[in-house]
């Protein structure tokens, strides 16, 4: 059985800790591990192979975090843009033997009961081997309005229900035969593709075309024009709600999608007063607060039931119970043309990281870390010049036709428009301070001539 791990989604309801280029599945929230890493570990003992489906940016995050676990994976499929779960799963299944049983798991869910999880996956595998499409129904703990529901009679699916209002959700819970729709699935690759071709032929056909034209040099990379031609749809709408081959496995596995700060609060360790544990939090008569801080001290006095999240460049304060509205903040940031929904002060790149230290009109200062054996793209800028000062390590810097070694406490200057590149040929990370000066210092003022990571 192969585990297909879906890495899509930006987790907008967990802003500001989750952003487009560092979504919630890669944020280390639980014992210094991310939800992605926990997903890999959880399924590694169940499946003999893993297949990661992600976009390009998330691919490098996945590689880094797999490396921290001292693990590798068998296959990658990179999507230039997301088209929802049906195309993502279809493209992956088309790369597999039709008889291969696949376990589809999102990368951003928390499952705490590993023994119960093993039992339900084993049951799902049995049903999948009989050519059923299996979905996992989570035993509901309360009347949740943010999930879809599955109505069942034993393991037979009667119907799928849209996200209900509170009264309807409570009726579902009281009925005893409704489950939360987990977004996890198990089936033979070929059985799913047969059902997709039957019920959503446009998705099937366009996925076949996209895969046939994909770049397959070490991993499968779908081309943008082919991906955009695939109709966007979820696996539920495209197949599961239409097929007569569907079974549900009731799953009481300590599951959470960690889809909001209210949900996250329930999963984090707390002190005697119900505040989430945080070394930088000073609490004076404060109770039942979610406190997430990134370096700065947070002091609370006589407050209760608040969500306080500080990431250095953004501060969120909300009442508990209202955290679903955080996605409205993200919408407003987009409306204001802000990049704060997209990227943290520290951004992860395939070659390392950069941290913005200062960003004002006319100049920007960064701390850049380039890992051993990695290099930036060969590039130029139209609107800024750059000063590079090496703090540690030795950088090989190419400017125009000339290359030079820049050692600690040495610097170089790159004029606006000059083609340049930085390479770390050493054994330790290169750390440098970059000062950008110009009328525009946005990240989109990069013209890549060549790039090791096939970025545009």
The contacts of residue 55 (CB under 8 Å, 6+ apart) are 7, 8, 78, 79, 80, 81, 82
CATH of the domain at 421: 2.60.120.10
- For residue range 1-38, list pLDDT tens digits in order: 999 999 977 778 899 999 988 899 999 999 889 999 99
Answer whether residue 173 shows pLDDT above 90. Answer: yes
272 vs 31, 190, 287, 317, CA distance in Å? 19, 52, 9, 22
Same domain, yes or no, for 180 and 248?
yes
Final residue belonging to a domain, choices 241, 256, 271: 256
Same domain, yes or no, for 296 and 402?
no
**Residues 313, 295: Cα–Cα separation, whole Å:** 11
Same domain, yes or no, for 196 and 103?
yes
Q: What is the pLDDT of residue 285?
A: 97
Q: What is the pLDDT of residue 56?
A: 79
For the ranges 52-66, 250-264, 296-310, 380-394, which has the lowest average pLDDT? 52-66
By residue count, the chain amounts to 456
Same domain, yes or no, for 90 and 174?
yes
What is the per-residue DSSP string for 204-252?
HHHHHHHHHTSB-SSSEE--HHHHHTSPP--HIIIIITT-S-EEEEEE-
Let me know if 59 is exposed, middle or buried by CB neighbors in 10 A (0-12, 13-18, 19+). buried
The widest CA-to-CA distance across the chain, in whole angstroms, is 74
The contacts of residue 344 (CB under 8 Å, 6+ apart) are 19, 21, 22, 311, 312, 313
173 vs 69, 167, 179, CA distance in Å? 39, 10, 8
Q: Is residue 341 part of a domain?
A: no
Give 70 or 194, the one with higher predicted confidence. 194
Answer whether residue 456 shows pLDDT above 70. Answer: no
Q: Is residue 340 part of a domain?
A: no
Final residue belonging to a domain, choices 216, 236, 256: 256
**Residues 254, 111: Cα–Cα separation, whole Å:** 5
* Residue/partner pairs of 212-215 with CB below 8 Å, 24 or more apart: 215/454
Q: What is the per-residue burial (b if ≥16 Cβ within 10 Å, else e) of 433-454?
A: ebbbebeebeeebbeeeebebe
- Is the pTM for the entire model greater than 0.85? yes
Q: Is residue 198 part of a domain?
A: yes
Same domain, yes or no, for 24 and 80?
yes
Same domain, yes or no, for 238 and 276?
no
Q: Is residue 281 part of a domain?
A: yes
> pLDDT tier at 61 (50, 70, 90 boundaries)?
confident
Report the SS3 class of residue 175: helix
CATH of the domain at 101: 3.90.550.10
For the ranges 64-68, 289-293, 373-377, which has the lowest average pLDDT? 64-68
Q: Is residue 409 part of a domain?
A: yes
Structural domains of the chain, count? 3
Q: Is residue 160 part of a domain?
A: yes
Same domain, yes or no, for 212 and 175?
yes
7 vs 79, 82, 238, 390, CA distance in Å? 10, 10, 20, 35
Report the SS3 class of residue 294: coil
Same domain, yes or no, for 110 and 69?
yes
Range of the domain at 298: 261-325
Same domain, yes or no, for 84 and 181?
yes
**φ and ψ of 262, to 5 deg:** -65, -45
Same domain, yes or no, for 94 and 228?
yes
> pLDDT tier at 57 (50, 70, 90 boundaries)?
confident
Same domain, yes or no, for 310 and 414?
no
Percent of the chain with pLDDT over 90: 80
- 395-399: strand order across its sheet: 402-406, 395-399, 420-423, 378-380, 447-450
Q: Is residue 336 part of a domain?
A: no
Of 189, 40, 43, 4, the C-alpha closest to 121 is 43
Final residue belonging to a domain, choices 325, 356, 371: 325
Same domain, yes or no, for 252 and 277?
no
Q: Is residue 455 part of a domain?
A: no
**Residues 223, 236: Cα–Cα separation, whole Å:** 25
Percent of the chain with pLDDT over 70: 100
């Amino acid at each position: 059985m192969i585990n297909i791990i879906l890495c899509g989604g930006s987790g907008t309801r967990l802003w500001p800790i989750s952003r487009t280029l560092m979504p919630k599945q890669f944020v280390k929230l639980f014992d210094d591990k991310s939800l992605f890493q926990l997903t890999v570990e959880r399924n590694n003992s169940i499946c003999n192979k893993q297949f990661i489906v992600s976009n390009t940016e998330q691919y490098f995050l996945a590689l880094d975090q797999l490396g921290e676990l001292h693990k590798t994976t068998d296959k990658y499929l990179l999507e230039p843009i997301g088209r929802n779960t049906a195309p993502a799963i279809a493209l992956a299944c088309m790369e597999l033997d039709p008889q291969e049983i696949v376990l589809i798991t999102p990368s951003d869910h928390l499952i705490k009961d590993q023994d119960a999880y093993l039992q339900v996956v084993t049951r799902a595998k049995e049903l999948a081997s009989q050519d059923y499409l299996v979905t996992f129904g989570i035993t509901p703990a309360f009347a949740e309005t943010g999930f879809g529901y599955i109505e069942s009679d034993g393991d037979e699916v009667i119907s799928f229900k849209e996200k209900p209002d509170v009264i309807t959700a409570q009726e579902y819970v009281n009925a005893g035969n409704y489950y939360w729709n987990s977004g996890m699935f198990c089936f033979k690759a070929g059985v799913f593709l047969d059902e997709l071709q039957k019920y959503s032929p446009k998705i099937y056909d366009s996925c076949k075309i996209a895969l046939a034209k994909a770049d397959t040099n070490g991993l499968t990379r779908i081309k943008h024009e082919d991906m955009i031609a695939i109709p966007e749809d979820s696996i539920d709408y495209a197949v599961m709600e239409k097929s007569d081959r569907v079974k549900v496995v009731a799953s009481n596995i300590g599951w959470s999608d960690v889809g909001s700060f209210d949900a996250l609060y329930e999963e984090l360790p707390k002190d005697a007063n119900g505040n989430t544990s945080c070394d930088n939090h000073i609490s004076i008569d404060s109770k039942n607060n979610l406190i997430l801080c990134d370096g700065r001290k947070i002091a609370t006095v006589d407050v209760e039931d608040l969500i306080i999240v500080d990431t250095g460049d953004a501060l969120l304060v909300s009442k508990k119970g209202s955290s679903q509205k955080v996605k409205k903040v993200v919408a407003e940031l987009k409306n204001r043309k802000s990049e704060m929904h997209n990227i943290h002060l520290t951004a992860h790149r395939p070659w390392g990281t950069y941290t913005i230290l200062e960003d004002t009109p006319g100049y920007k200062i960064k701390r850049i870390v380039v890992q051993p054996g990695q290099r930036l793209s060969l590039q130029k800028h139209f609107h800024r010049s750059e000063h590079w000062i090496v703090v540690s390590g030795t950088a090989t810097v190419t400017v125009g036709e000339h290359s030079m070694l820049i050692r600690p406490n040495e610097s170089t200057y790159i004029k606006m428009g000059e083609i340049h590149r930085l390479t770390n040929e050493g054994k330790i990370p290169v750390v440098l301070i970059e000062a950008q000066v110009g009328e525009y210092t946005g990240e989109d003022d990069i013209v890549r001539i060549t790039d090791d990571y096939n970025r545009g």
